[in-house]
Chains A and B, each alone.
Chain A
Amino acid sequence: MKFRGKIMDVACLNHFTRVITTISKLTKMCVLRLTPDNLFFVLSGKVANGGVSMWCELSQENFFDEFQMEGVSPEDNEICLEVTPENLSRALKTVQNAKAVKLKLTKKHCPCLTIAAELPTLSSVSRIVTHDVPVDVIPRRLWHEFKEPSMPDFDVSIYLPPLKTMKNVVDRMKNLSNFLVMEANLNGEMNLKIDTDLVSVTTHFKDLGNPPWGDEASQDRGPSQIRDPDAMAQTRVDIRKLQQFLMGQQVNPSKAMCNIVHERVVHLILLHEDVSLQYFIPAVA
């Protein structure tokens, strides 16, 4: 198992750092899967995580000037590591002005993802800083837990309003309730609702638009094609999970969407050229 990557472009480094910082706001631990073409940050929906799962996909070409890896075996040319994204984020944040940053899998006192940066100095010699972030190597027999989640058969898919606006609304609502109902229809309308003994609050968004999912997406959705455009699909979620997602946002997505499976799950998708982030929040009763 070998891995080494090098980022030399400041903009790429900055972007990469922001993606990782976003992830660090969503989860304490996650799995980093390295393949010859991609990096994946994965959180599988276990009870310990509150049932939330995450899938973030980066194309290595868009970030790395050099990227070499050798997986467990030629057939399984992948590396799977459990990492603490906050450590990576912290390490990367301090080397934003680096001339070059290297990421490599190393064996120090334990398996580590080493971030080595060459910092500019006034003297002739560069300053080198290395951060060894301990990782756990995940054995192959557990890999199946970290596969890409399949797109759920959603009832309604809708574009999200500006995330900042949504964050402001959710932040206020969080003071009033622990749970929030997200509902949307095929008419471009979305509501965020809280309902407690004392107060009911609903924020209405309209004209959001519904993303056209191609044939393949609609294949299994016989019922939804004849779905009443005004009929709402709704899911009640833990408001903190949604807030966490909105708060950590540093990616500035070009597209933000939400798929709702009635009473089951909210599937949030952020797309930004080379990065996609999917986040699943399960329904609570």
Chain B
Amino acid sequence: MDCVVTGGNVKVLAKAIHSLSRIGDELYVEPQEDGLALRSVNSSRSAYACFLFAPLFFSRYTIPSGPAFRCKMAIKSVQAVFRSLATLEKTVEKCHIELDEQKNRLTFTLHCKHGLMKTHNLSFQDSESLQAVFDKDSYANVFRSHPRLLVDTVVHFSPSLEEVTVSVSDDQMWVKNHVEDEADRSKAMLTELCLASDEFDNFSVQVHNSVTFCLKELRGLLVFAESTGLPISMYFDEPGRPVVLSVTDSVLEGNFVLATLSDDTDQRKNNTKRARTTPPPAPDDFMNDDMDSYLIAMDTSIMPGPSASRPPSPPLVNSTCLNHTAAANHRTRLHSEEEDEEEETVDSCGPPNKKFCSLFFGSVLPPSSQMTTQPLTGQEVLASDSEDDVQ
């Protein structure tokens, strides 16, 4: 394989590698007829990302004619080639990627200004083909927006937050932080953001649903999308089925496939807490000035209680809270009856222990001798546990 990237495209390539580094530790490189594929998957196989750079992206693109070459390498070492994005843009004129078959090295050569040339010879391992199977067209809910919208959305969440929950109705999308542990809920700050459909370029909802997925990988994609200014499309439907985030352009395509939470107990919890929000709040909620949102019957007399070292929450708070939860539960139930299909799934679900479904069982591979003879599709298995449950 022998390809040359020039000008601004070097930065695009570098950004893509940086955002892939948010997914996993290894970069899978596969020169294909239709372009160079760079992929990564995380260790728990719950997140997968792929960039495909079309031959037109390169000023020269040739692939070996023999058996398909594919390899994997430590993503850190590739990142090191494109370490400083700022200087990269200013100094690098051309990047040449070449497979040195004699030395078994993948060579990255950066041609910089003033005739300076930096060569990185990176070792690699042969690898299986890494390919997640997903069909974006089969998703019920599709959104497209300028990356800025999502960047402005995730900025509201703490950098340490792991997962977000995205819910949609016909004309709104809510994004909120996902708090796993019920016990933590009384301590954690809950953040919720509501986006109106007209902030999106495309907002098509068939199923009112909510999915929970990792924020870290989304942030990774945003790094890429923001720098290239490419609109992001998002595809999802039921919980447990992976969410797909993608960017496309005439010469490149990036797809991030992220597992979503399908744990049924969690789902129920979500429902309970969502009982409050699922019926879309009145549009003028913010302006709505009622002060009755919080009312507590506070006992003002001296109560016998534990020593004053730490202020215990008054018992009355607890009891009102309980009532509140009960009411919420009730509402959930009503809500579920309307969507009894969903309720059935929840009830029939198996062990409620699994957090994220693994996206791929794709690494189960025949020995490499068979690799070339086996049809590629035979090795690409993709199924999510939850889909099995659902069917």
Contact = CB atoms under 8 A, between A and B. Distances in A.
B15 to A, nearest CB: 25
B294 A106 contact: yes
A107 B185 contact: no
A76 B301 CA distance: 12
B190 interface: yes
Nearest to B185: A109
A107 B294 contact: yes
A256 B312 CA distance: 36
Interface string A137-152: 1111110010000000
Interface string B177-214: 00000000111111111111011000000000000000
A263 interface: no
Contacts of A118: 286
A91 interface: yes
Interface in A77-115: 82, 84, 87, 90-91, 94-95, 100, 102, 104-112, 114
A109 to B, nearest CB: 5
B223 to A, nearest CB: 19
A110 B312 CA distance: 14
A139 B189 contact: no
A180 to B, nearest CB: 29
Contacts of A90: 158, 189
B317 interface: yes
Nearest to B325: A109
A235 B312 CA distance: 35
A123 B298 contact: no
A26 interface: no
B156 A94 contact: yes
Contacts of B195: 127
Contact of A128 (B188, B194, B292, B299): B194
Contacts of B155: 94
A108 to B, nearest CB: 7
A2 B192 contact: no
A128 B294 contact: no
A132 interface: yes
A198 interface: no
Given A107-B324, A122-B199, A134 B188 contact: yes
A82 B195 CA distance: 31
A139 B273 contact: no
A116 B276 CA distance: 16
Q: What is the interface of chain B mostly: helix, strand, loop, or mixed?
A: loop
B189 A137 contact: no
A125 B198 contact: yes
Interface residues of B, number: 47
B313 interface: yes
A57 B320 CA distance: 32
Contacts of B185: 109-110
A104 B285 CA distance: 13
B311 A139 contact: yes
A130 interface: yes
Interface string B283-297: 101100101111110
A284 interface: no
A136 B189 contact: no
A61 to B, nearest CB: 19
Contacts of A2: 291-295
Nearest to A46: B309
A118 to B, nearest CB: 5
B86 interface: no
B299 A125 contact: no
B376 interface: no
A122 B286 CA distance: 18
A105 B294 contact: yes
Contact of B192 (A4, A111, A130, A138): A130
B146 to A, nearest CB: 9
A110 B273 CA distance: 11
Contacts of B317: 110-111, 137
A73 B286 contact: no
A134 B300 contact: no
Greatest chain A CB density within 10 A among B152, B305, B311, B320 is at B311
B294 A110 contact: no
Given A128-B286, A134-B189, A107 B293 contact: yes
A111 B296 contact: yes
Contact of A105 (B293, B299, B305, B312): B293
B193 A121 contact: no
Given A125-B196, A130-B191, A134-B187, A82 B311 contact: yes
A1 interface: yes
Greatest chain B CB density within 10 A among A2, A108, A134 is at A108
Contacts of B314: 137, 139
B189 A133 contact: yes
A124 to B, nearest CB: 7
A169 interface: no
A146 B293 CA distance: 26
Greatest chain B CB density within 10 A among A1, A4, A105, A130 is at A130
Contacts of B187: 134
A231 interface: no
B371 to A, nearest CB: 49
Greatest chain A CB density within 10 A among B155, B191, B302, B317 is at B191
A82 B302 CA distance: 19
Contact of B293 (A73, A106, A127, A145): A106
Given A1-B295, A139-B305, 12 more contacts: A4-B291, A46-B309, A107-B294, A107-B295, A109-B321, A121-B199, A123-B196, A127-B193, A130-B191, A132-B192, A137-B313, A137-B314
26 contacts: A2-B293, A2-B294, A82-B311, A94-B155, A100-B286, A102-B286, A106-B293, A108-B190, A108-B276, A109-B186, A109-B273, A110-B317, A111-B296, A114-B293, A119-B152, A122-B199, A125-B199, A128-B194, A129-B192, A129-B193, A131-B192, A134-B187, A134-B189, A136-B311, A140-B298, A145-B308
Interface of B: 152, 155-156, 158, 185-196, 198-199, 273, 276, 283, 285-286, 289, 291-296, 298-300, 302-303, 305, 308-309, 311-314, 317, 320-321, 324-325
